[in-house]
Structure 1
Amino acid sequence: MTDDDRVAVKTYVPRYQKEHWREHADELEMSQSEFVRTMVQAGRREFEVPSAGESTRTESAPEPDGDDEFDDRILAVLDRRGALGWDDLVDALIDDVEDELDATLQRLQDENLVRYSGRDGGYVLTNDE
């Protein structure tokens, strides 16, 4: 395989996030794949951001201060729901984690990597049988 060979990258995101990305990609006149590639590169120190009708420009991204993934979750919840107090923010984050856990467990069961065992009292790896 050479550096120019293309390979697929697959990820799972909440439906609202995909829709938000699609809208943003449309605004930039990009495909969703092109948008995700560009935004991933934008998360790196040096990057180029193509804009509709503009040439590419180089910008620097700020250095992250904390856990980017958790920061993104908080920002997404606040963007989706508006101002939230501490308890409501905790509840919203827990809801997001529960939704993600449910979807991930379903996918892992569909791929036959885990299963629910009443006998063992929870989810188990299928290769442990």
Structure 2
Amino acid sequence: MTDRPDTSRKSIKTYVPAYQKDEWRSHADELDMSQSEFVRTMVQAGRKGFTSGSEEPDSPASDPGGNVLETRVLELLSTDTYSWDELLEAVSDDIESRLDETLEDLQSTNRIRYSGRHGGYTLVGDGDGD
């Protein structure tokens, strides 16, 4: 018996305003991702900013708990007033950059690769016969 997580696919339904779905579709297209992959990636990236008690590696000394999202919001608001959409865009750009850098690092160390056959990123040597 192994301690591997259940990787079977399950469906999740959510409802968002039409303009938001259009923005997500457009952004997913820019990143050459399916809409499902885009939403899955953004949710996972966003969760890292909300995990309580976990310290993030690049936490500034003044933020030892690792609440980078809180720090970023306070930095933004210290210089200007932002609407919800503007704040969301500002912090999402940072998450996208971090994800992109992380994926590049993992690929350069041959820990992951992009596989069309597997429909996206996959671990190297995950027992798929490659």
Fold shared by both chains (TM-score > 0.5): no
More strand by share: 1
| Larger-Rg structure | 1
TM normalised by structure 2 equals 0.45
